[in-house]
Structure 1
Amino acid sequence: MFLYKIDDQLSLKQAEVIDAERLFELTQSGREYMKEWLPWLEFTATVDDTREFVKGTMLGYAENRSLTTVILYEGEIVGTAGFNSINWSNKTAYIGYWLGLEYQGKGIMTRVAKGLTDYAFQHLKLNKVEIRAAEGNNKSRSIPERLGFVKEGRIRQAEWLYDHYVDHIVYGVLAEEWVTI
């Protein structure tokens, strides 16, 4: 099982079925807030839906095409982050994340994204890491900006959010550019 310590407060652990109840609890408590930016909430109506999601992420990890982790903050699951996909041919990973509402504003996700980027370059020997966020999602966009990712462009109508499309802003950093903070 994957376990990666970022610092004294934060670790990433591969999501397991046993984590589904806590993840669903976080989803429920932040559902209205998260619905503004996350398209999968309508497919996550029960703990069983979350269990099925976790099983799918475990398969993705076993097949070496993704890595979904739970974020452990002071030992408690507070959200998820990971590589939604890994393109081994192009040596690129695509980071995705979400955090429980009550844990936002503590710098957690910036440290997590930095840790994942470090891991991608140091351990996986990838060449590029990308983060995509909806154009209006300023909180999410501030993370790659804070970490020195380059704004590479816009993907028009990249994602359907319940009743409208949103454009995505693409950020990337190359291994040769990565300077840890």
Structure 2
Amino acid sequence: MFIHKVDDDISLKLIELHDAERVFELTDKSRNYLREWLPWLDITNKLEDTKAFIQGCLKEYAENKSLNTVILYKGEIVGVAGFNSINWSNKTAYIGYWLGEEYQGNGIMTKVAKALTDYAINHLHLNKVEIRAAVENKKSRSVPERLGFVNEGTIRQAEWLYDHFVDHIVYGILASEWKRGGS
């Protein structure tokens, strides 16, 4: 099982089926907050939906295509983060994340994204890490900006959010930049 200690309070653990109840509870509790920027809230209405998501994550992890973890903060699951996909041909990992509303503002996600980036570059020996966020999603965009990621441009109408399209900013950092202290 994958477990990665970020600091004394934060760890990343491979998401597992026995995490489903807590992940669904956290999703449900933060539903209105998360719905502003995440397109899957309306199709995650029951525990079985979260279990199906986790089963997909575990299948892709076993196939070496992704790595999705729960974020443990002081021993409690507070969100999900990881590599939504890993492109081994191009040596690139794509980070995605969400955090329960009540855990925002504690620097958790910046530490998590830093740990994931470091893991991708120094342990998986990838060349690039990307994070994408909606143009108006200032909180999500601040994470890669704090870590020294480069704004590589905008993808117009990149994602359908319930009743409208949103543009995405693509942030990237290369292994050479990260090793020079991009964080």
Which structure 1 residue ranges, 4+ long, deviate > 6 Å from structure 2?
none
Other-structure match for 2:120:
120
Other-structure match for 1:165:
165
1:177 maps to 2:169: no
Other-structure match for 1:26:
26
* d(CA) in 1 for partners of 2:30, 2:75: 20
Other-structure match for 2:52:
52
* d(CA) in 2 for partners of 1:144, 1:75: 25
* d(CA) in 2 for partners of 1:19, 1:78: 11
Other-structure match for 1:151:
151
Shift of the 6–49 alpha-carbon distance from structure 1 to 2, 3 Å rule, reads: same
1:134 maps to 2:137: no
TM-fit CA distance, 1:129: 0.1
Gaps of 5+ in 2: none
Aligned residues: 181
Q: Determine if contact 2:11/2:73 at 8 Å carries over to the other structure.
A: yes
Q: Determine if contact 2:131/2:170 at 8 Å carries over to the other structure.
A: yes
SS at match of 1:177: helix
Q: Cα deviation per residue 1:121-164 (whole Å; 9 max; x = unaligned)?
A: 11000000000000000000000000000000000000000000
Supply the AA of the counterpart residue of 2:48. D
Other-structure match for 1:69:
69
SS at match of 1:90: coil
Other-structure match for 2:35:
35
TM-fit CA distance, 1:43: 1.0
Other-structure match for 1:15:
15
TM-score (norm 1): 0.99
> For the aligned residues, what is the CA RMSD?
0.7
TM-score (norm 2): 0.98
Supply the AA of the counterpart residue of 1:100. G
* d(CA) in 1 for partners of 2:108, 2:6: 10
Gaps of 5+ in 1: none
TM-fit CA distance, 1:180: 6.0
TM-fit CA distance, 1:42: 1.0
